[in-house]
Chains A and B, each alone.
Chain A
Amino acid sequence: DQQVKQNSPSLSVQEGRISILNCDYTNSMFDYFLWYKKYPAEGPTFLISISSIKDKNEDGRFTVFLNKSAKHLSLHIVPSQPGDSAVYFCAASQYSGGGADGLTFGKGTHLIIQP
């Protein structure tokens, strides 16, 4: 049972345009969401996060939107650059849980920025 779903295994976007990566979750207890970026042969690196008390968080070219009622979040990258080509993982956790089930990751979306 996948609690965090990234339904697009890959996405191709032209350089300079907007990249939109989507993520859905099923566990209503999740209250903190993160995006990680991964290059080949490297570990994932943190990109941006959002708490469930917000619906938007922005950091430079990266914006994450959260729609709690739809259990959906998205990552917008504007403008897309060649260095953004990587695998992007959506992850979720329970801040208030007290336990440490760790982050629950989606399967990732491979973003390819075309010149």
Chain B
Amino acid sequence: DTGVSQDPRHKITKRGQNVTFRCDPISEHNRLYWYRQTLGQGPEFLTYFQNEAQLEKSRLLSDRFSAERPKGSFSTLEIQRTEQGDSAMYLCASSFGGTFGGINEKLFFGSGTQLSVL
């Protein structure tokens, strides 16, 4: 079991630059989630994929953020024109769930990508 893998672990960028993060979920998992965590807060839901379909996006996800999961396997999260307020830990999680019904199964998280925007 290789677990959920995220790359890079750390990213330092200048304000206004674009950044892209990658997540490789557990191979048999059909669901993939992106969360963001800032200091002193719990993880906040950003978006969710079931296979390659992006089914939900939080209102936290501004139009500078875009996520893809082109073949239903790995996913990328891109932030365009980064701002200092984007500095956070970006967590990816995966799970195996049925086609219908809500999301309640336990999630397996990666170690996250720590983004610092200078």
Identify whether the interface residues of B are mostly helix, strand, loop, or mixed.
loop
User: B102 at the A/B interface (Cβ < 8 Å)?
Assistant: yes
User: B48 at the A/B interface (Cβ < 8 Å)?
Assistant: yes
User: B25 at the A/B interface (Cβ < 8 Å)?
Assistant: no
Which range holds the interface residue count of chain B? Answer: 20 to 34
Which range holds the interface residue count of chain A? Answer: 20 to 34
For the complex, give the distance between the alpha carbons of A110 and B100 in Å.
35
Most chain B CB within a 10 A radius of its CB, from A49, A102, A107: A102
What 1/0 flags go to A86-115 for Cβ under 8 Å of B? 000101011111111111111110000000
User: B104 at the A/B interface (Cβ < 8 Å)?
Assistant: yes
For the complex, give the distance between the alpha carbons of A28 and B91 in Å.
27
User: B4 at the A/B interface (Cβ < 8 Å)?
Assistant: yes
What 1/0 flags go to A11-35 for Cβ under 8 Å of B? 0000000000000000000011010
For the complex, give the distance between the alpha carbons of A6 and B40 in Å.
12
Interface residues of A, Cβ cutoff 8 Å to B: 4, 6, 9, 31-32, 34, 36, 41-46, 49, 89, 91, 93-108
A-B contact pairs, 14 of them (CB 8 A): A32-B102, A42-B111, A43-B109, A45-B108, A46-B106, A49-B106, A91-B42, A93-B102, A101-B103, A103-B45, A105-B43, A107-B40, A107-B42, A108-B41
Interface residues of B, Cβ cutoff 8 Å to A: 4, 33, 35, 40-45, 48, 50, 55-56, 58, 91, 93, 100-104, 106-112
